Chain A
Amino acid sequence: MKAIRTSLFLGFCAACSVLLPDNADARGSAVIRESGHINIGVEPGLPPLGEYDARNELAGYDIDIGRAIAAGLGVEPRFVTLSSSGRIPYLLAGKVDIVLGGLTRTPERAEVIAFSHPLYSEQFAIISPFERKIMSFGDLTSGAHQLVEVRGSTAVAYLREHAPKASMLLLDSYVDAIRALAQGRGDAMVDVIEYVGHYLPTQPQVQWRVIRGFAPPVGDDCIGLSPQDVTLRSDVDRLLEKMEANGRLEAIHRKWFDPGTDQRAP
């Protein structure tokens, strides 16, 4: 009993340390400039947004955008790697100042974080092994098929709303999800093909069917920011407007995405 009481006391102390205000306040532009660096959350497992290149260095659309933002603020970019499910918690905990990683603007997310101007818009596709004979989104709404999805992705929320009967196996990364799908643990996956498409060649034994255009663009991909500080948000928006005007945003998009399928938001 003494051990239990001690454990409860230590747990109470730990809870108090969490509940009391700490230094997790969002850093504004002035603090960031003063510190000389900006912490940028990126997902390294989501090419072409973020990946490790041949030299084992971070590369991708988000990395270039992050570097441009940092250069615009006159500070050094410090990239913090995270997973899809960690994007918003890292931002809320003050571990990063801004977060990328294919962060789609949704009403639910807008209640807890702030968003920059859109970078581009994204659209879902159905990815399934050819032999599963999934021909349309309607095939997925009956609940007869098992879907494999990535926890924390916008597709999960979309499917819960538009295919509530669908059974989902939630894994932590795209590479795991595609492997599970290829091994027959599921029948299909719904996600942004520009992200998932990079993993399809890793399973060359599978003939994939990709169905596009069953839904309108699901949302705008933005930079996530803390809702507490408006100075950084206005600075980031100003920099994005400038990059839009001088064609830099367009150039980065064309560099990493297929130039023939430019989906950047107007």
Chain B
Amino acid sequence: MNRLDFHPVLVRLPYLLGGVWITILIAALAFGLGLSLAVLLVVVRFENRGVWRRMSRGYSTALTNTPQLSQIFAVFYCLPLMGVMVSPFLSVVIGMTLNAAAYLADILGAGMSRVPSVYHEVALTLGLNRRQTYLRVILPHVGRTMFPALANHFQIMILGSAMASIFGVEDLTGRAYDIGSTTFRILEVMLVTGALYAVLSFALAGIFMLCRRGLERMV
């Protein structure tokens, strides 16, 4: 076996670390936008019984049963066929947003179905309209109860954003491949990159744990 040599990787560590911020940015943007879309989908699902409800469910079914990679691929290569040119970074964010919305809608939907009916009755008694009921009663409750699942999904998105490299985005994995193709030390690069993902994941787990404790104290 060839001796491992981390020096060529370590001298390029600042460049590699720059990819960490791009990774976080991709995941954060896609999660934030996906959560907004998911709220819309789940409200439609609970407030309508007709075609809109079926469309909302159909959206989740379609996007949770197809690979995220093919969804990003469709955005990256199919939109230009329709005359819409978006950058590789934006293509990945849009693709991941569409995918995240489907999963997050299912997570929020599970939380919504567990909201006690008394919450709705109290909101009605207080004279809150539907919008106020959702914004002040139901969604905060769902956010608290489903926080662990939402946090888990964000961590999955951090790790899943590695596929951005396939579309030329210089995220953590993209920069790792770049260094690997220059130094030919792909094993060393991937060991360091894996360690960076692990550090990032553990840090996020710690932050989410603190957030969860804060939320529990608020109740």
Q: Does A89 contact B178, Cβ atoms closer than 8 Å?
A: no
Q: Does B4 contact A171, Cβ atoms closer than 8 Å?
A: no
CB of A152 within 8 Å of the partner chain: yes
Cross-interface CB contact of B167 among A93, A109, A156, A171, cutoff 8 Å: A171
Residue of A with least CB distance to B1 = A24
CA–CA, A196 to B107, complex, Å?
46
CA–CA, A177 to B219, complex, Å?
54
CB of B210 within 8 Å of the partner chain: no
Q: Does A170 contact B178, Cβ atoms closer than 8 Å?
A: yes
| Closest Cβ–Cβ distance, residue A15 to chain B (whole Å) | 7
CB of B140 within 8 Å of the partner chain: no
CB of A172 within 8 Å of the partner chain: yes
| Closest Cβ–Cβ distance, residue A137 to chain B (whole Å) | 22
CB of A85 within 8 Å of the partner chain: yes
Q: Does A169 contact B168, Cβ atoms closer than 8 Å?
A: yes
Q: Determine the interface band of chain B, counting residues with CB < 8 A from chain A.
A: 20 to 34
CB of A228 within 8 Å of the partner chain: yes
Interface flags, A154-185, vs B, CB<8A=1, else 0: 00110000000000011110000001100111
CB of A88 within 8 Å of the partner chain: yes
CA–CA, A183 to B86, complex, Å?
11
Q: Does B1 contact A22, Cβ atoms closer than 8 Å?
A: yes
CB of A143 within 8 Å of the partner chain: no
- Chain A residues whose CB sits within 8 angstroms of the CB of B178 once the complex forms: 151, 170
- Chain A residues whose CB sits within 8 angstroms of the CB of B182 once the complex forms: 108, 157
Chain A contributes a number of interface residues (CB within 8 A of B) equal to 34
CB of A19 within 8 Å of the partner chain: yes
| Closest Cβ–Cβ distance, residue B126 to chain A (whole Å) | 42
Which residues B177-219 have CB closer than 8 A to chain A? 177-178, 180-182, 184-187, 191, 195, 198, 202, 205
CB of A245 within 8 Å of the partner chain: no
CB of B88 within 8 Å of the partner chain: yes
With most chain A CB atoms within 10 A of its CB, the pick from B2, B81, B202 is: B2
Known contacts A25-B1, A185-B85, A228-B2: does B166 contact A108 (CB below 8 Å)? no
Q: Does B77 contact A179, Cβ atoms closer than 8 Å?
A: yes
Q: Does B166 contact A4, Cβ atoms closer than 8 Å?
A: no
| Closest Cβ–Cβ distance, residue A255 to chain B (whole Å) | 31
| Closest Cβ–Cβ distance, residue B136 to chain A (whole Å) | 35
With most chain B CB atoms within 10 A of its CB, the pick from A15, A85, A180, A185 is: A185
Interface flags, B32-73, vs A, CB<8A=1, else 0: 000000000000000000000000000000000000000000
CA–CA, A113 to B186, complex, Å?
13
CA–CA, A22 to B77, complex, Å?
42
Q: Does B187 contact A92, Cβ atoms closer than 8 Å?
A: yes
Cross-interface CB contact of B80 among A15, A94, A169, A183, cutoff 8 Å: A183
With most chain A CB atoms within 10 A of its CB, the pick from B167, B185, B195 is: B167
Cross-interface CB contact of A4 among B180, B191, B205, cutoff 8 Å: B205
Q: Does A185 contact B177, Cβ atoms closer than 8 Å?
A: no
| Closest Cβ–Cβ distance, residue B194 to chain A (whole Å) | 8
Cross-interface CB contact of B180 among A7, A89, A171, cutoff 8 Å: A89
Q: Does B186 contact A21, Cβ atoms closer than 8 Å?
A: no
Q: Does A170 contact B168, Cβ atoms closer than 8 Å?
A: yes
Cross-interface CB contact of B191 among A18, A151, A170, A171, cutoff 8 Å: A18
CB of A217 within 8 Å of the partner chain: no
| Closest Cβ–Cβ distance, residue A193 to chain B (whole Å) | 21
Known contacts A89-B187, A172-B166, A184-B80: does B181 contact A152 (CB below 8 Å)? yes
CB of A31 within 8 Å of the partner chain: no
- Chain B residues whose CB sits within 8 angstroms of the CB of A4 once the complex forms: 202, 205
CB of A112 within 8 Å of the partner chain: yes
CA–CA, A194 to B185, complex, Å?
29
- Chain B residues whose CB sits within 8 angstroms of the CB of A36 once the complex forms: none
**Residues on B close to A: CB < 8 A?**
1-2, 4, 77, 80-81, 85, 88, 166-168, 174, 177-178, 180-182, 184-187, 191, 195, 198, 202, 205
- Pairs A-B, 5 closest by C-beta atoms: A183-B80, A152-B181, A89-B186, A169-B168, A24-B1
